Amino acid sequence: MNLLDKKNNIAILIAGIIALTVGIGVARFAFTSLLPHMLNDFLTLTSTGLMASINFVGYLSGAIFSIFLKNLNQKIFYFRIGMTLCILTTFVLAFSENETVWYFSRIIAGFGSAMALIVGSSIVMMKLNFKDKTKAMGIHFSGIGISILTTDIISKLVIHFNHTWRDAWMVLAFFGLIITLYSLYILSIDKEQKQTVSEHKFDKSIFSFFVIVLVLTYFTEGVGFVVQATFLPDIINSIKGLEGLGEYTWTLVGVAAIPSTIILMRLAHKYGSINIIILAMLLQVVGILIPTFTSNLYLNLFSGILYGGTFAGLVSLFMSLGGKIAPHNPVILMASFTAAYGIGQVFAPLYSVALVEYSGNYDLALYLTATIVFSGLMLLFFNKKS
């Protein structure tokens, strides 16, 4: 097995997982992992919410931008730019304590994350040599869970050895820099192939009524994703008797997310993607609500497992579904879904901060989030194809 062969399916999947680890883990989820330490020392809850929102403004802009990438050459070019931005903006967090610089860094990191997830995943899907790529893409998207767990372990190790969150950002940046090189090499094409790369035009006919329903549903899932992705450790820490346990809940999110994409994709292959999407969103609603009605340690840890076990799998399900509906140019629907997801990600942290400041706890924010996600799954349920 030659893992330096750009056409080797295993090499392609490893490179895709690395891309997600850097683009989603280092450039995004590590922020959540380090949040309790930064809240104690540097950030406020309000600034955290604002940074989460502008990070997803960058992500949203990247998602929209990627819709118009016409061929594989362009996708590889901007994928490389995105991965580079993810590394550079992480170094910024290690060296700067200027909030304005951080805001600018987070929006650029969001754009880079979109290139890593959307464009990177479309390159993986196009390069894989399988007749049915559903199961393989489930393995690829397990990189979301791997990204959470890997960056969380690195962050915890750095803090454990009496270093600061700034040191953690430095280590994460160097880690990302090293592993990115393999991803950039494998997810590329040889020179002699470049002249044969075809362009794909934007096809409006793809956007049927049902696809629009999927887009709206994924918007609500973006809301469900971002509130816990931004605040989950602090949500758990804010519950009486669970102070200091938020970090462990986040670790469980990563552990649960790794197999979830593979499991949900296999279930989707057997029972249909739409049915599994509805089931996963329903479980996510339960997980969102758990911290609002109990301070039981095990139930709240279970809420983290439900979150990790659903959100990554839902990303995998929607992205793969987009690839199936538009097989010749999967980035179009992948980007359209992600744009809707990104809109949810932009405004959800803002209403969450406002409701927390109004009520003094996270309950109202979680009630609203659960309601929005539930409305999305009901919309899909009543409009699903038989």
For residues 37 and 254, the answer to whether their CB atoms sit within 8 Å is no
Write down the pLDDT at residue 386.
Answer: 46
Summarised one tens digit per residue, pLDDT across range 83-95 is 999 999 999 999 9
Residue 192 has pLDDT above 60, yes or no: no
DSSP reduced 3-state for 367: helix
Residue 193 has pLDDT above 70, yes or no: no
- State the average pLDDT over residues 296-301: 95
197 compared with 187, residue with greater pLDDT: 187
Write down the pLDDT at residue 167.
Answer: 97
Write down the pLDDT at residue 200.
Answer: 52
The pair of structure tokens assigned to 278 is: 């509805």
- State the average pLDDT over residues 189-204: 57
- Output the average pLDDT for the chain: 90
The answer for residues whose C-beta is within 8 angstroms of residue 156's C-beta and 6 or more apart is 33, 247, 251
DSSP assignment of 25-42: IIIIIHHHHHHHHHHHHT
pLDDT > 90: what percent of the chain?
Answer: 70
Residue 38 has pLDDT above 50, yes or no: yes
Rounded to whole angstroms, the Cα distance separating 367 from 305 reads 19
Residue 365 has pLDDT above 80, yes or no: yes
130 compared with 270, residue with greater pLDDT: 270
Summarised one tens digit per residue, pLDDT across range 164-190 is 999 999 999 999 999 999 999 999 987
**Which pLDDT band holds residue 329 (cuts at 50, 70, 90)?**
low
Residue 322 has pLDDT above 90, yes or no: no
For residues 117 and 20, the answer to whether their CB atoms sit within 8 Å is yes
Rounded to whole angstroms, the Cα distance separating 11 from 177 reads 18
Write down the pLDDT at residue 316.
Answer: 86
For residues 326 and 332, the answer to whether their CB atoms sit within 8 Å is yes
Q: Give pTM, 2 decimals.
A: 0.88
Residue 273 has pLDDT above 50, yes or no: yes
Summarised one tens digit per residue, pLDDT across range 136-172 is 888 999 999 999 999 999 999 999 998 999 999 999 9
Write down the pLDDT at residue 385.
Answer: 62
- State the average pLDDT over residues 200-210: 71
- State the average pLDDT over residues 49-76: 89
Write down the pLDDT at residue 203.
Answer: 60
Domain made up of 9-189+207-383: CATH architecture: Up-down Bundle (1.20)
Write down the pLDDT at residue 204.
Answer: 66
Summarised one tens digit per residue, pLDDT across range 10-22 is 999 999 999 999 9
135 compared with 142, residue with greater pLDDT: 142
Find, among 262, 258, 15, 10, the residue nearest to 146 by Cα. 258
181 compared with 131, residue with greater pLDDT: 181
Rounded to whole angstroms, the Cα distance separating 349 from 341 reads 13
The radius of gyration computed from the CA coordinates of the chain, to the nearest angstrom, equals 19
90 compared with 196, residue with greater pLDDT: 90
